[in-house]
Amino acid sequence: MSKLFIVDDDHLTCELLKTIGQFIFNEVVIFKSGKEFVRQNPTSTDVVLLDLMMPDFDGIEIIRYLANQKSTFKLILISGADRSVLSSAERLAQGYGFTISGCFTKPISTHKLSILLNALVLEMSSKPAVEQIRKQTEKKFKANNEVLIIDEKQVGKVAGVCSFVPEYQDIIDGINAHQFVLYYQPQVLISSCQLNGVEALVRWQHPNMGLISPDKFISIAEQTGAIEALTNEIVKMTVKQIAVWQGDGAHIKVSVNLSAQNINSLDFPEQLSKLIKKYNVDPSMLTLEVTESALMGNLITSLDILTRMRLKGFQLSIDDFGTGFSSLSQLHKIPFTELKIDQSFVSSMLHDTDSEAIIETCIMLGHKLSMKVVAEGIENEQTLNLLSQLNCDVAQGYFFAKPMQAKDILTWSKTLVGKCYG
């Protein structure tokens, strides 16, 4: 049974967190001393809320100590310190091998925290855990004048999805049955507030589990070797959709993510060329996104494949720029046409001067190398305005739109001008 450990020296904070946790967990344990907490032995089904600013044994020391103990619990970091400190602690904990389930600055949003804790319990749910949450749906939890009600039917559905761990053959069967579908997130030209294109994002429309998000199957596809077949299916669906839009008189460029296996397959450029000729699509309408980590394998083979892609007219984007280990080297060697700034920098740029400086440098670098620069993860107008001031070219994020079905893109694009300048 799951426990919630609260490690915080502030009495009021502990009581508040306990009030939230007792509706969700079988047991809530409070520790106001880091040294006392590290004597415990949290298991993989437990969740730890850890305040970084502990008086006797601070959060960083606790993380280091527990890493040496090979602890595997779910960790949520909280702190009243500057956001940059929290971000650094998160990266450190991840470096030690911890899975960080969330980060909260004080004062904590009780509503968001309660939703996160419920989701974590569902992830680890067995039938008793789901039954526990089912009983909780009969209760109303008030926080900041909001009522959090978890729908009983949704609990069962989400619990089923969270417990579903697909295997290689499940994914291959899903591909063969055409169960994977694409949603499209708009990318907007900042200067003119016009639709620049969309990014294709895959979902699994499972006959029993419903719509499954990619975080539930992409990593497994990569680990089992099913990712190449899945990516090929995604590319085929993307090219078909470009052709459909083209038939409707709309020329919409689409970005699609390539796997490491794709950029190590010497036949891939020819396969893709045949595909676009079949559907009479201009290759420049397709942008192939490659992450820095995917390039860390056989660089010579990747360089061969990606250079031929450019020769055939496809656009190339380096995705999650700045999070890899050899960014400048990759930019120098590979003929990218687009640089995509990772959302981890974008989401923090308003309150983190280091993130803002990194983004400004990326934009300048991209322009010097004649590349279009895309920023992803824009969630508010203030971030968009700052990116505009820094001369970023294209914006993508929830501020504009969540990923949507292909049929909704053209209708949505008519609302753009008011979004940018309203």
What pLDDT shows up at residue 298? 66
| Residue 134: pLDDT band with limits 50, 70, 90 | very low
Around Cβ 383, how many Cβ atoms within 10 Å? 21
What pLDDT shows up at residue 150? 39
How far separated are the first and last CA of the chain, in Å rounded? 51
- Chain mean pLDDT for the chain: 83
Give the DSSP letter of residue 23.
Answer: T
| Residue 140: pLDDT band with limits 50, 70, 90 | very low
pLDDT at residue 1 above 70? no
| Residue 92: pLDDT band with limits 50, 70, 90 | confident
Q: Are 324 and 292 in contact (CB under 8 A)?
A: yes
| Residue 224: pLDDT band with limits 50, 70, 90 | confident
pTM for this structure?
A: 0.65
Measured distance CA(6)–CA(47) in Å, rounded: 9
Percent of the chain with pLDDT over 90: 40
| Residue 417: pLDDT band with limits 50, 70, 90 | low
What pLDDT shows up at residue 167? 85
Interacting residues of 296 by C-beta distance below 8 A, sequence separation 6+: 324, 325, 326
What pLDDT shows up at residue 216? 82
pLDDT at residue 333 above 80? no
What pLDDT shows up at residue 148? 39
| Residue 20: pLDDT band with limits 50, 70, 90 | confident
What is the arithmetic mean of pLDDT over 260-277? 88
The CATH number of the structural domain formed by 3-163 is 3.40.50.2300
Per-residue pLDDT reduced to its tens digit, 117-132: 888 887 766 444 444 5
Superfamily of domain 168-421: EAL domain (3.20.20.450)
What is the arithmetic mean of pLDDT over 388-417? 91
419 versus 335: the higher-pLDDT residue is 335
What pLDDT shows up at residue 279? 96
| Residue 418: pLDDT band with limits 50, 70, 90 | low
Give the DSSP letter of residue 297.
Answer: S
178 versus 146: the higher-pLDDT residue is 178
| Residue 147: pLDDT band with limits 50, 70, 90 | very low
87 versus 276: the higher-pLDDT residue is 276
What pLDDT shows up at residue 29? 93
Closest Cα partner for 253 from 334, 318, 189, 205?
189
pLDDT at residue 152 above 70? no
Task: Enumerate the CATH 3.20.20.450 domain ranges in the chain, comma separated.
Answer: 168-421
CA 153 to chain centre: 26
What pLDDT shows up at residue 419? 66
What is the arithmetic mean of pLDDT over 273-297? 88
Measured distance CA(57)–CA(76) in Å, rounded: 17
What pLDDT shows up at residue 145? 39
By mean pLDDT, which of 99-108, 148-157, 196-205, 282-291 is the weakest?
A: 148-157
- CA distance readout (Å), 284 to 252, 336, 394: 11, 13, 17
Q: Are 103 and 86 in contact (CB under 8 A)?
A: yes
Per-residue pLDDT reduced to its tens digit, 229-263: 999 999 999 999 999 999 999 999 999 998 878 88
> Residue 129, CB half-sphere, CA atoms under 13 Å: how many?
23
Task: Enumerate the CATH 3.40.50.2300 domain ranges in the chain, comma separated.
Answer: 3-163
327 versus 190: the higher-pLDDT residue is 190
CA 212 to chain centre: 14
What is the arithmetic mean of pLDDT over 338-353? 91
193 versus 85: the higher-pLDDT residue is 193
Full DSSP string of 233-267? HHHHHHHHHHHHHHHTT----EEEEPPTTGGG-TT
